[in-house]
Amino acid sequence: EVQLVESGGGLVQAGGSLRLSCAASGFTFDDYYMGWFRQAPGKEREGVSYIRSSHGITYYADSVKGRFTISSDNAKNTVYLQMNSLKPEDTAVYYCTADRDGLGFPIIWGDFWGQGTQVTVSS
């Protein structure tokens, strides 16, 4: 059974930091691109970042570039999203995803999805 389990969300003041984690199981982690999406109330889902560490590939949306860092620990089948200098507009449910071919980000993406973790940034 495929599982993507996010953790690390919470409430933080603007300017603060959080680190999200996503523990993956049930598929060959090394064969997949791992990504993060977010969705704020009343807004469309937004692709935030992805990584394929074995290929040295990372991508960031312009809205988070320079503030967020994606990384992975393939030995632990875990992907992380370090979020610094958080802003109220970063408030959203953050979802971990896995995609086999990594194409079409963010429109066509996501063979597997986690349940999401809430991030709330207060002003």
Q: What is the C-alpha separation between 5 and 23, in angstroms, rounded?
A: 5
Q: Which residues of the chain have pLDDT under 70?
A: none
Residue 107's pLDDT is 87
pLDDT at 15: 98
What six digits make up the tokens of 88?
A: 């109220």
- Spatial contact of 35 and 105, defined as CB atoms under 8 Å apart: yes
